[in-house]
Amino acid sequence: MEIKRSFRTIALLMMGALSLTACSDDDDDEPNNAPEEKINSVFVVNSGSMGANDASISIIDLDSNKVYNNCFVNATGRQLGDTGQDAVRYGNRIYIAVSGSNTIEVIDRKTLKSVKSIQPAAGKPGSPRDILAYGGKIYVSLYDGYVAKIDTASLAIEDSIAVGPNPEEMTIANGYLYVANSDGLNYGNAYENGKSVSKIDLKEFKELSKIEVIVNPCKLASDKDGNVFVISIGDYGTIPATIQKIDKNDKVSKIGEGTLMACYENTLYTINAPYGAETIDFVSYNTTNGTVEKANYISGEELPSNPCGMNVNPQSGEIYIGSYDGYNYTSDGFVFEYSANGTFKAKYNVGVGPIGIAF
Amino acid sequence: MDKIKLTCFFTLLSIQFLFGKGPDSTLPPTEIEEVVVTAPGENPMPTTHTTQSIEVKESERKGITSVPNAIRRMAGADIKDYGGIGGLKTISVRSLGAKHTTVTYDGIALSDCQSGQIDLGRFSLEQLSQIRLSIGEDDNILHTARHYASPSVLELQSASPDYTDKDYNAQGKLKAGSFGMINPFASFDHKIGKANWLKVSADYLRADGQYPYTLKNGNIKTEEERKHTAIESGHAEINGKFYLSPRTQLTAKNYYFTSDRELPGQVILNNAKENQETTQDQNFFTQLQLRTDWERTTLLFNGKFNWAACRYYDVGRQYPNGEVNYNYFQREWYGNSTIRYKANKHFSFAQAFDYTFNSYNFNAYTCVYPKRHTLQDALSGKYENRWLTTTATLLGSYFKNEVETGEKPKDQKRISPACAVAVRPFPFDLYFRASYKDIFRMPTFNELYFNQIGVKNLNPERSKQYNVGATYQVHSEKAIKSFTLSADGYYNEVKDKIVVIPRMIFWSFINMGYVETTGIDVMSQCEVKSSTRTSVLLSAKYAYQKAVDKTDKASALYGDQIPYTPLHSGNGSLAFENPYLNISYNLNVVGKRYCLPQNKKENRVAPYAEHGITAYKQVKFKHFETKLRGDILNLTDKQYEVVKWYPMPRRSYQASVEFIF
């Protein structure tokens, strides 16, 4: 059989060599122009593949259900850079954290034109990771171990404070800023300093305490009642990715297992897609008592194959999940849209690694 | 470390011993064929199979500036170049990637069990006499078993001294070039007794490596400079050849390489921060070959010890205590015995048995101190007559893995067949050939064990190669001194391709890819005696490679060309030799490629053409001769990339002066 096939291949090869046809199937799509002002839209930060300078912005227009890709480069004439993380719309501007390029890009909300590219000064802590806005300030976690405060008028870093090593996501609850200290680069020592969430007083801009959690905390979310939820990714070995709740008295309790989450009113939507797992779980919890609301808040045919980011529209309660195209981590991904009750609505083609979804 | 010292000591001791004793050979060395590599003959293209060679003495005529630059001229071969002086340069044959090519130095495989690829920038052209590339099955069956264990073999052959008119040779060369490059080389060898010799050689390289480049970011073009690029490296060898008896020859090789490099890293857009990474590499190996030739039987024994260390250092606030400092060590013990028996004029058989032991460790708690024992046995048969050569090989491999803690990767066993046939149906030099090879590569130690990212249950990457080709060549005393035209069509498939995937902030590997490649390689060379004192040498190659991802029909990537594989590429050189100043011109053209698996506009790497000019002259004096050479590289000042975000230097210059005594 094998030999027969080999001969056939050689014969085919001889014929193939004669008919040298070079077909180029390169998609030469037309430039996708950024939309005009779109308040009713989803702002997607595509991380790109690390070291490939292919971070990008996609905007989903919720009125026309149309997606616009490469919005940043189309509006500014400049590429977003390497490893986009997250964005926040605040006032008439949008702030984007780009960790590989070590920049915080500030763009106009309407025109998407660049207002300023904030770069931490040489020698100063950098590598912006997560970004949020509160009380006239922008807060950015810096992977170098700090949280920076940006003044929205001067667009300069006005202060920064040290937190734990390699901070990831942040959330604001009860007037405090919570930051997950992952120690994610200390794999050589089992993330030994990554077992806490820093609680920061915003008036003094100073760390009040470090709340002890399971190793390698990365994700943070909070509900309107001030309950804080943290996902510790664990050690990729015996300790699984775990969702924990931090109550108002900083008491930590385990809720379940998960790798991504988003809060909407009193519901915590979670996704558990640990590396190498056969199935992906979509479990929602009640944020007050931590009980399971729905074992499968979304189901059916149209499910993300490899989720990497999620958020819930605070206006409508619609669920948005960013996903890679299966194992193709370097090619364009998708954003899946579901109604508040879990019905599939749309699948949008976006850039590589849609990890940051902002409203 | 003690083991290494001991090995060095014994190797030197054995050379000393032989040196002291002196040979009493009566057989002229020319009667014994060169070990492993066929003697460089008249023909640049050997008669059977897809094998080609480049004589290093031809390097001026072809404008060859380095070992990677020479390899690039060979049909089917490509160099992945991260730019700059001292940057990593690896070979890829027919889109299979560096891990699928075995690189041998004087007949014994070079090893890097950690990364599975050999940095060809570490070898000096001055140390070599010939570079040879065999794709698929080789027609020479006197080899180690490891020689059969990959889809292609690149053989580096060091220069053997010539003692026609004196008992020693001495050579000194100084090369200098743009970006602060200084590269001296010296060698000395002496004949011992009638046919034995000992040779010592060394070279040193330093460069600042800072060069300007144009950066394109969206619609904006800026002038930038490559920074953090300094390199300093040294390389020394002690080689010798000794006749233990008229029939038995012993070849010894000791190699040491050291380098200290700043890594510029890839260009990161919108980022003013300079890269801080540095690496320090050291590699030592010692190898011995013993060969005995009887009437019908040839015995070959090879032994080698290899040690390599790499220190990686980076500073930054993101790291624990503000820095990372990793030290990687790898060792290899290797032994081989090969027997070849020529039953009659037509039939010969060979059996090669190899044992390899690899160990690897680094300074992190995740290190499991892996070890690998490899047993390989190759049985080959060859039939040849005036118009036909055919070979068949069956390679059996067994891999046993060991770790000190935790679960160990499963052991692997495999049988790999290969066969080839070449026909010369007419009384002139026109050959037709066909070959088939089924082979695999084991996951590297990085893929299995590296910090967090290694995956222990990885399977080998399997490949199948089919090739058909033809070569036509003529030699004459007339105006056209020689002409060669060779063409091959091939089909490769790679199953269980090991693909990198990110997992949170780390990378990881899975066996998932399936790639099919259809390609054509064409090569031609022509030497014309244009007048009594002038000649013209023309050589060219063209490659067509359609290497497509056929992993998953449902995926958007199905049918896309794999990264860094141009559909069309080629190069050529033209030399005009005359009594005044010899000039050669070379051109390398590479079509568009993609830097990532998805064939979209954003991932495109622009096509480029790079031109070069070499001027050279050889002057003979009474007691010595001098070679002068000057090169202009990238004559048209083209800004291009071989690897995306690693810009290559624009126009640059090199000059060298060489004295041969």
In a mutagenesis test of the A interface, which of B220, B224, B271 is the best target, namely the one with the most A β-carbons within 10 Å?
B271
Nearest to A112, CA basis, from A85, A138, A69, A73: A73
B244: its two tokens = 């233990």
Q: B504, A184: Cβ pair inside 8 Å?
A: yes
Half-sphere exposure of B85 (CA within 13 A, CB side): 29
pLDDT at B386: 84
Q: A187, B364: Cβ pair inside 8 Å?
A: yes
Percent of chain B exceeding pLDDT 90 equals: 66
What pLDDT digit, counting tens, does each position of B121-148 carry? 899 898 999 999 999 877 789 999 999 9
Which of B365, B555, B644 lies nearest to residue A188, judging by beta carbons? B365
What pLDDT digit, counting tens, does each position of A262-280 carry? 999 999 999 998 876 778 9
Chain B: closest CA distance from residue A158 (Å): 20
User: Is residue A9 pLDDT above 60, yes or no?
Assistant: no
Q: What is the ipTM of this complex?
A: 0.86
Chain A, nearest residue to B487 by Cα: A17
Mean pLDDT of A175-201: 92
Cβ atoms of residues B380 and B390 within 8 Å = no
Q: A81, B502: Cβ pair inside 8 Å?
A: no
pLDDT at A243: 97
Q: A26, B505: Cβ pair inside 8 Å?
A: no
In a mutagenesis test of the B interface, which of A30, A79, A114 is the best target, namely the one with the most B β-carbons within 10 Å?
A79
Q: Which residue has the higher pLDDT, A116 or B17?
A: A116
Which of A6, A25, A77 lies nearest to residue B599, judging by beta carbons? A25
B58 occurs within a structural domain: yes
What pLDDT digit, counting tens, does each position of B580-603 carry? 999 999 999 999 999 999 999 999
Q: A25, B560: Cβ pair inside 8 Å?
A: yes
Using a CB-CB cut-off of 8 Å, the residues of chain A touching B645 are 51-53
Is A58 in CB contact (< 8 Å) with chain B? no
The CATH architecture annotation of domain A2-358 reads 7 Propeller (2.130)
Chain B, nearest residue to A188 by Cα: B364
Is B220 in CB contact (< 8 Å) with chain A? yes
What pLDDT digit, counting tens, does each position of B289-322 carry? 999 999 999 999 999 999 999 999 999 988 888 8
Is B489 in CB contact (< 8 Å) with chain A? yes
Amino acid at A31: P
Q: A183, B320: Cβ pair inside 8 Å?
A: yes
pTM score of the predicted model:
0.87
pLDDT at B296: 94
Nearest to B490, CA basis, from B430, B559, B548, B435: B435
With a CB cutoff of 8 Å and minimum separation 6, the contacts of B649 are B83, B84, B178, B179, B211, B213, B226, B633, B634
pLDDT at B51: 77
pLDDT at B509: 81
B174 occurs within a structural domain: yes
Q: B491, A143: Cβ pair inside 8 Å?
A: no
B285 occurs within a structural domain: no
Q: B218, A81: Cβ pair inside 8 Å?
A: no
Mean pLDDT of A288-308: 92
Cβ atoms of residues A305 and A325 within 8 Å = yes
Q: How many CB atoms lie within 10 A of CB B453?
A: 19
Q: Which residue's entry shows tokens 């929205």?
A: A152
Residues 307-366 of B with CB under 8 A from A: 316-320, 324, 363-366
Nearest to A80, CA basis, from A69, A93, A65, A64: A69
Burial zone of A351 (CB within 10 Å; 0-12 exposed, 13-18 middle, 19+ buried): buried
Q: Tell me how far apart the alpha carbons of residues B647 and B209 are, in angstroms, rounded to a whole number.
A: 12
B651: its two tokens = 């126009």
Q: Tell me how far apart the alpha carbons of residues A287 and B439 are, in angstroms, rounded to a whole number.
A: 56
- The whole-chain average pLDDT of chain B stands at 87
Chain A, nearest residue to B365 by Cα: A188
Is A78 in CB contact (< 8 Å) with chain B? yes
In B454-600, where do the E strands start and end?
A: 461-475, 480-503, 506-528, 535-549, 568-577, 582-590, 593-594
In a mutagenesis test of the A interface, which of B137, B220, B269 is the best target, namely the one with the most A β-carbons within 10 Å?
B269
Is B651 in CB contact (< 8 Å) with chain A? no
Which of A12, A119, A189 lies nearest to residue B320, judging by beta carbons? A189
Torsional class of A290: left (φ above 0), alpha (ψ -120 to 50), beta (otherwise): left
Residues 256-275 of A with CB under 8 A from B: 275
B572: its two tokens = 């050529």
pLDDT at B83: 78
Half-sphere exposure of B628 (CA within 13 A, CB side): 7
Using a CB-CB cut-off of 8 Å, the residues of chain A touching B518 are 13, 16
Q: What is the DSSP string of A130-180?
A: EEEEETTEEEEEETTTEEEEEETTT-SEEEEEE-SSSEEEEEEETTEEEEE
Amino acid at B235: H
Which of the residues in chain B have pLDDT under 50? Answer: 1-46, 505
The domain of B139 spans 2-275+300-317+334-660
H/E stretch holding B20 reads helix B2-21
Nearest to A298, CA basis, from A333, A316, A272, A276: A272
B294 occurs within a structural domain: no
With a CB cutoff of 8 Å and minimum separation 6, the contacts of B17 are none
B571 occurs within a structural domain: yes
Using a CB-CB cut-off of 8 Å, the residues of chain B touching A143 are 318
Chain B, nearest residue to A181 by Cα: B318
With a CB cutoff of 8 Å and minimum separation 6, the contacts of A171 are A132, A177, A178, A220, A221, A222, A228
Residues 468-487 of B with CB under 8 A from A: 468
Chain A, nearest residue to B521 by Cα: A17
The CATH number of whichever domain residue B500 belongs to comes to 2.40.170.20
Using a CB-CB cut-off of 8 Å, the residues of chain A touching B463 are none
User: Is residue A6 pLDDT above 50, yes or no?
Assistant: no
What pLDDT digit, counting tens, does each position of A132-165 carry? 999 999 999 999 999 999 999 999 999 999 999 9
Q: How many domains does chain B have?
A: 1
pLDDT at B531: 86
pLDDT at A36: 55
Using a CB-CB cut-off of 8 Å, the residues of chain B touching A79 are 217-218, 269-270
